[in-house]
Amino acid sequence: MASAEVRAVSPENGTGTTDQPSTSAGPGAQKANDDTSKLVQDVLSSEIGISVMLNRLKQSITSAKEFSQFLKKRAQLEEEHANSLKKLCKSSHEIMQRGEHRGGTFGKAYEEMLMVHERMADNGLMFATSLHQMSEDLNELAQVADKSRKGWKQSGLAAEQRVAELEAAMRKSKSKYDALAEEYDRARTGDTSGRQGGKMFGFKGHKSGAQHEEDLLRKAQAAEQDYQGKVQVAASERSELEAKTRPETVQALQDLIRECDSGLALQMQKFASFNEKLVLSNGLSISPLKKEGNECKSLRECILAIDNEKDLNDYLMSHHPRLQPKTGLPKYEKNHLLDAHRTPAASTQNISQHQGSSGGYQPPPNMFPSNSRSNTFSETPLSTSAPLGHSYGQSVGSVPLLGGATRPSSQPQHERSFSHGNLLNQASSSGGQQYRSVIPQSQPSNVRYNGGYGSTSTSQGPPQLGVLPFQSSQSQQPQSQSYGQSQQGSSSSTALQRASPPLGPHLSQPVFGVSLARLYERDGLAVPMVVYQCIQAVDLFGLNVEGIYRLSGSLPHVNKLKHLFDTDCHSENLDFRNPENFFHDVNSVAGLLKQFFRDLPDPLMTRENYQAFIEAAKHEDDIVRRDSLHAIINSLPDPNYATLRALVLHLHRVMENSASNRMSSQNLAIVFGPTLMGTAPGGNVADAGWQVRVIDTILQNTFQIFDDDD
């Protein structure tokens, strides 16, 4: 038993120590240790020693398995956290490399911050690997101990059971021997109790007392020999059990318990040490020690190195080479051709009065060029015999605005092609002269746009896409005829040449909240005036403004401009070529444009086609998705198509300047997706991502969907 007491586990640190008494212990401590050892030895040498040790070993194995599972789960958590942190650092690094994020000292500090997090992720992966190894070692130890326990349980308990059975047989033999001895004693002394008339009855006849006494003596002697033999066997087995089998089993179980407990304590010590190492490594990654030659900066120092003023100045300086040479103030230069072809003074006075009364701005004829969507129009044949330069006397309907050959009025078409070629540039070199030709006075004009938007030289509205098939004379009958067309053959009459300017739409006619079809019927403009003015303002003053269409403008400014369009859309204050008219706040103009589209009763891309756009966006193939969207766009109503085309071409110009305004196609799609498509009929929030994909695809394929013939 001395070998069983070589090592024991210290409860403080789990390390092995000898059971030898300490020389510095006092007499009281020595006596307590002796009493403890005596009590422990009594339990181990008793019949319950093996079963008690088996139960204790089972507890050690269960605890080791549980801690092994804890280490395994903790390692999985650490590994997931480290991998997630690495993935986050990688994605953030890729995003920061794009041009839409800041650079300079901020970019450098951000990269250093990501490197710190990557080092922390590496520390976490090393910690998780160590925990995995510890878990496997501890689980293997528990399995070996459990297997050994089963073997010792079988051998130790079998010996104990065998001794118990021999002792039970011995006691039974002793009881039989004692009973026969008592019966023989009664027969020998003449005690007749239990006998009938002094005779004994048997199967072979009656026996005398002497014969009976002799039989009892013989049986008692046989029982004595049997009892004596069983006592010797039981004593031998017990001696072997107490001297060899029980001590060996108890010693083996003690060794297994100590080995299992020591392994468990060792793994727990390693776990504590690895935790300290992890925290220390992360701390050194965030704030490294300052040594000579070590240039590693702490996370705080990296962040404090950001110089916002320097970054801003460097960014502005990088754009300095793009500056255009400075020029003087713009000066008015009169075209001598206009004076050479001008009619008598009365006509000149008439034109001056009309231009003065309009007070608006006439955009260039190719501001919104048409495309192959509607490439055939009903035109009135032109007369080449009329003098050039008198465009103020003709209607838009008599001018081929696309610059192509005219078509007979008997063959109107409405064709929206999928062709990617530019069919609009096939006009002859004399097409530009057609803008300056007039209709013979013997033929009535084909009035397309009346009022203040009717004539080419006096229009305040935006240039149109040409005569669309839905621009019929029925929608124009309530409007008055264009200036210079009310009489035929009266060019020599001074009174008629002094006629008053054309009547525009009535004042206080709302623009916001009115459908595009109604605006066209009322104003004769395929692209509403508010859309045109906002687009030209952003084109002139907002293409290089960072966050254009994403940043909100001033709400009071937006409300003032909205009120002005709803009450007097022909006011001189709505000429957005002058930034004073929109308070030098181009973001408010962008907000006004978005507000117009949000207020439409039916979204620009229509509720009817909403689901078709969403389904088209779900195509993974880029070409199939583009062509599907192209087909749906071609099915839009004409005012919606014309307005969408003008807006998309404008947004493409914004996108081309994304290096300075930070508005990529994705960012513009996020802003305009719900604005142009509206909300889902069923209120499905999941459609927001598909809306963005619709607009982004359109912007990425602008010139495949809308031909630009600028």
- Per-residue pLDDT band at 330 (split at 50, 70, 90): confident
Beta partners for residue 196, in sequence order: 199
Stretch among 45-54, 391-400, 662-671 having the lowest mean pLDDT: 391-400
Q: Is the pLDDT of residue 659 over 50?
A: yes
SS3 for 365-431 is CCCCCCCHHHCCCCCCCCCCCCCCCCHHHCEHHHCCCCCCCCCCCCCCCCCCCCCCCCHHHCCCCCH
Residue 70: its H or E element: helix 49-96
Q: What pLDDT, on the 0 to 100 scale, is given for residue 264?
A: 93
Q: Is the pLDDT of residue 5 over 80?
A: no
All CATH 1.20.1270.60 domain ranges of the chain, comma separated, are 41-190+211-289+296-310
Any residues with CB less than 8 A from the CB of 445 and at least 6 apart, and which?
380, 394, 395, 397, 398, 439, 481, 482, 485
d(CA 418, CA 400) in angstroms, rounded, equals 23
- What's the gap between Cα 610 and its chain centre? 25
Mean per-residue pLDDT, 261-281:
94
Q: What pLDDT, on the 0 to 100 scale, is given for residue 159?
A: 81
Q: What is the pLDDT of residues 159-208, one digit of tens each?
A: 888 888 888 888 888 888 888 888 888 877 876 555 544 445 444 445 66
CATH of 41-190+211-289+296-310, one of 3.90.110.10, 3.40.50.300, 3.20.20.70, 1.20.1270.60: 1.20.1270.60
Mean per-residue pLDDT, 254-274:
93
- Return the half-sphere exposure (C-beta side, CA atoms, 13 A cut-off) of residue 380: 18
Tokens representing residue 673 in the block: 């997706």
CA distances in angstroms from 395 to 88, 93, 401, 438, 638, listed in the order given: 63, 59, 11, 9, 21
Tokens representing residue 424 in the block: 């609009």
pTM for the model: 0.39
Tokens representing residue 434 in the block: 């057609």
- Per-residue pLDDT band at 507 (split at 50, 70, 90): low
Quote the strand ranges of 446-565, DSSP E: none
Beta partners for residue 520, in sequence order: none
Residue 9: its H or E element: strand 7-9
All CATH 1.10.555.10 domain ranges of the chain, comma separated, are 516-704
CATH architecture of the region 516-704: Orthogonal Bundle (1.10)
Residue with tokens 């520390």: 123
Q: What is the pLDDT of residues 478-490, one digit of tens each?
A: 333 333 333 333 3
CB 123 within 8 A of CB 285: yes
Q: Is the pLDDT of residue 269 over 80?
A: yes
Q: What is the DSSP letter of 487?
A: S
Beta partners for residue 455, in sequence order: 395
Q: What is the pLDDT of residues 564-582, one digit of tens each?
A: 999 987 888 899 999 999 9
> Cα-flanking dihedrals φ and ψ of residue 512, to 5°?
-80, 140
562-567 CB contacts, 8 Å cutoff, 24+ apart: 562/512, 562/592, 562/595, 565/511, 565/512, 565/529, 565/530, 566/508, 566/509, 566/510, 566/511, 566/512, 567/507, 567/508
Tokens representing residue 605 in the block: 């891309």
Q: What is the pLDDT of residues 374-433, one digit of tens each?
A: 433 333 333 333 333 333 333 333 333 333 333 333 333 334 544 333 333 333 333 333
Q: What pLDDT, on the 0 to 100 scale, is given for residue 237?
A: 83
The three-point CA angle 469-473-476 to 5° equals: 110
CA distances in angstroms from 172 to 229, 256, 666, listed in the order given: 13, 39, 98
Mean per-residue pLDDT, 109-134:
93
